[in-house]
Structure 1
């Protein structure tokens, strides 16, 4: 009898909740699928069952319903450039939606990527910003060039014919991981020295990104992996080997610096620990926070730039006219290709700059909408005054493929950036997000892109293997 009463009240509660969400919720006037209005698991279906098909589904929904759609019981998604800038560029009052960030950041729970309070994020960013200023990046440019030279040597020695071809996606990921670890910690993981560029860290990162949607909706798997005995984790999840090795390396370095602070003066160059271990007007971070912040920097610093370089190389080789223009411009300022050239020279090249901007338009840093929560003081978003607590977001994919700003948006066309006034184009180029929560490593990323793509295009002769096969 009690069991039946429990079922009755449970189903009655669900029925009342469904009625409220469909007909009485503050967002019920916005169009969208009925299932999305009823449950947040609508997103999970397209992420997991449809293999990351959420953004494609949002495209369909926007074509049907217009620039604002309801994609969850309390969530709106926009396809409106003004709304994007209201949320991210100027949205200083909005806060990160905790559920998504704690899920994607479950492997580094005390890292700043998970900070939802804007003030907490501002303080942490303030600690790290000096290491990623333009001045700091240029002072450490030699560390970037050293790793690029190492990649070139590996490619020239081991992958100099179609029979010894290499996946540039893997090569670039190895390069950017070596760069970010050397830059941030003065200790590179030296993946480029691994045979066949095979390394547990690379394999682990690949598996992590492959399973990102599971992590998004079932973050307790990561929590289990962090707290369970290491042997059990590796038996159940062998792809975690690289993550655990990297974490052990951070722990060793951090403990050494905590126990012997004088070691900070002995490293090759300034590292993040110079700023995090000796914060001004703040308490020293815990060991867990230090390790999580380190892991966040490695993950973010290796993925976006590596992906952009891979996409850039592909399009340069796919379109010979683009490749020839790049080669000609580089040859005019880079007479001896066996000698390195500075970032400040490369960033002044008009066509290379246009090319990199178009690469970044195509290579989205994060395609998933980055949700923010409306608070009472939040101004209008896309002309709409929304109730506090509403979750809002817009995938940067919609911003980068807006035909009103980027005509023929799916055509790779660097020439679109060679017009006299690029202010509107640049405003809507957001591969590193915008506003107060934009990417910390923006200056480093731009420097890497110019140096990596410049060196690859000037100093190597590349061909697409697929073109040879056809």
Structure 2
């Protein structure tokens, strides 16, 4: 009897909720799939069951319904550049959606990345900002160059015949991981030392990305795993070995600094802990906050740049005309390649700069829509007055492939950035997001991209070597028809893995 009564109330409640969401909800006038209006699990279905095809689905829906679609009971997605800038670039009255960020940052709940309160986030970012200013980046440029030199040595010494190949996607991830750890903590993770770039930290990051959607929609699984004893974690999830090693390293460094802050004066250069341990006019950060901030910096600092380098190298090698233009410009400006060329000097090279901007347009950054919540005082978004409390978002993919700003958007064309006025394309280049919550490490990322591409293209001669194994379920001859973003979305562009092969001849690395 009680079971039947419970079932009756459950079915009745669901029916009433469905009627409300379909016919009386403030967003009921916006077009979109009926299932999306009924449940937030619509997103989870395309993220998990359909293998991360959410953006491809949104593209279909926008073609069917127009520039604004209802993709959840309380969520709107836009395909309108004006709306993008209203939400992110100028959207000071919108806040991050806690449910989304709490899930993605479940392993680092006290880091500034997931703070929804703009003022709290601003205070934490204010502590970190000095280390990521352009001036600070230039002063620590040598730390980046040292790691690039190390990568070149590894490639030269271990992959120096035409029969040897290396996954540059993995090599770049190792490089950017070592750069960000050395830059932020004055202690490198040394992932470049692992044979065939098989360091546990890199393996752990790769596994974490494959489980990102499970974490997004079922964060309690990650919470359970992280709170389990280390031995149990390794038994259940051996891919967490890298995470545990990194955690132990951070704990050792942070505990030592908390116990004896004077040791900060003994490190090689300024680190994030110089700014976080003794914040002015604020309470000292807890050990957990220090740990979480460190983790998120490593994750964010290694992924976007590594992904961009992978995509950029692919396109440079896919199109010989682009490769030759880059080589010629670098050879003329950088006569003695055995002596480093500075970041500021590389910035002055017009074709290299255009190439990097086009790389960033293709590499996207976070392709998944980044949700914001409309506030009571939020102005119109895309010309529409959106009800307060509504979740709004727009994937950067739609901004970067807007044909009105980027004609023939699926063609990789650095020349589009060589026109006299690039103010509008630069405004719409949002790989590092826009507005008050844009990427903290923007200046560092630009420096890395110039130095990495400059050194790789000037000091190595590479050849693209695509095999069936590199692209998994994609056919090798269709490799150029797809790219896989950092969050796993498959959209037109470039394959996610490629391999390089070369031989050495004295100081040059020649392609065969």
Cα deviation code 1:220-260 (max 9, x no counterpart): 11101221111111111111110111011001000000001
The number of residues matched between the two structures is: 470
Measured after TM superposition, the shift of residue 193 of structure 1 is: 1.4
Alpha-carbon distance in 2 for matches of 1:350, 1:428: 19
Instruction: Please name the residue that 1:449 is paired with.
Output: 449
Alpha-carbon distance in 1 for matches of 2:101, 2:286: 20
Instruction: Please name the residue that 1:81 is paired with.
Output: 81
Instruction: Please name the residue that 1:315 is paired with.
Output: 315
Instruction: Please name the residue that 2:115 is paired with.
Output: 115
Instruction: Please name the residue that 2:348 is paired with.
Output: 348
Instruction: Please name the residue that 2:189 is paired with.
Output: 189
SS in 2 for 1:385: coil
Alpha-carbon distance in 2 for matches of 1:116, 1:162: 51
Alpha-carbon distance in 2 for matches of 1:291, 1:162: 44
Instruction: Please name the residue that 2:18 is paired with.
Output: 18
Cα contact 1:204–1:243 (8 A) shared by 2: yes
Instruction: Please name the residue that 2:49 is paired with.
Output: 49
Measured after TM superposition, the shift of residue 346 of structure 1 is: 0.2
Cα contact 2:234–2:240 (8 A) shared by 1: yes
Instruction: Please name the residue that 2:171 is paired with.
Output: 171
Instruction: Please name the residue that 1:272 is paired with.
Output: 272
Cα deviation code 1:97-127 (max 9, x no counterpart): 0111011111111111110000011001000
TM alignment of 1:73-152, pairs within 5 A: 73-152=73-152
Alpha-carbon distance in 1 for matches of 2:380, 2:161: 57
TM alignment of 1:239-254, pairs within 5 A: 239-254=239-254
Instruction: Please name the residue that 1:426 is paired with.
Output: 426
Cα deviation code 1:77-96 (max 9, x no counterpart): 00000000000000001000
Answer with 160-169 or 333-342: which moved more: 160-169
Measured after TM superposition, the shift of residue 129 of structure 1 is: 0.1
Cα deviation code 1:353-407 (max 9, x no counterpart): 0000000000011010000000101010001111111000000000000000000
Cα contact 1:162–1:465 (8 A) shared by 2: no
Measured after TM superposition, the shift of residue 162 of structure 1 is: 3.3
Measured after TM superposition, the shift of residue 172 of structure 1 is: 0.3
Cα contact 1:128–1:272 (8 A) shared by 2: yes
Gaps of 5+ in 2: 468-499, 502-512
**Structure 1: which 4+ aligned runs deviate by more than 2 Å?**
466-469
Instruction: Please name the residue that 1:237 is paired with.
Output: 237
Measured after TM superposition, the shift of residue 6 of structure 1 is: 1.1
Alpha-carbon distance in 2 for matches of 1:164, 1:262: 48
Alpha-carbon distance in 2 for matches of 1:387, 1:198: 50
Gaps of 5+ in 1: none
Instruction: Please name the residue that 2:484 is paired with.
Output: none
Alpha-carbon distance in 2 for matches of 1:113, 1:435: 14
Alpha-carbon distance in 2 for matches of 1:314, 1:434: 27
Alpha-carbon distance in 1 for matches of 2:47, 2:233: 25
Alpha-carbon distance in 2 for matches of 1:361, 1:210: 23
SS in 2 for 1:166: strand
Alpha-carbon distance in 2 for matches of 1:239, 1:59: 34
SS in 2 for 1:77: strand
TM alignment of 1:195-214, pairs within 5 A: 195-214=195-214
Alpha-carbon distance in 1 for matches of 2:224, 2:409: 43
Instruction: Please name the residue that 2:260 is paired with.
Output: 260
Alpha-carbon distance in 1 for matches of 2:384, 2:252: 51
Alpha-carbon distance in 2 for matches of 1:194, 1:232: 25
Measured after TM superposition, the shift of residue 308 of structure 1 is: 0.3
Is 2:46 aligned against 1:40?
Answer: no
Cα deviation code 1:197-242 (max 9, x no counterpart): 1100000000001111111101011101221111111111111110
TM-score (norm 1): 0.99
Indicate the structure with greater helix content: 1
Alpha-carbon distance in 2 for matches of 1:151, 1:285: 35
TM-score (norm 2): 0.91
Cα contact 2:193–2:199 (8 A) shared by 1: no
Alpha-carbon distance in 1 for matches of 2:16, 2:199: 53
Instruction: Please name the residue that 1:410 is paired with.
Output: 410
TM alignment of 1:292-303, pairs within 5 A: 292-303=292-303
SS in 1 for 2:431: coil
SS in 2 for 1:339: coil
Instruction: Please name the residue that 2:371 is paired with.
Output: 371
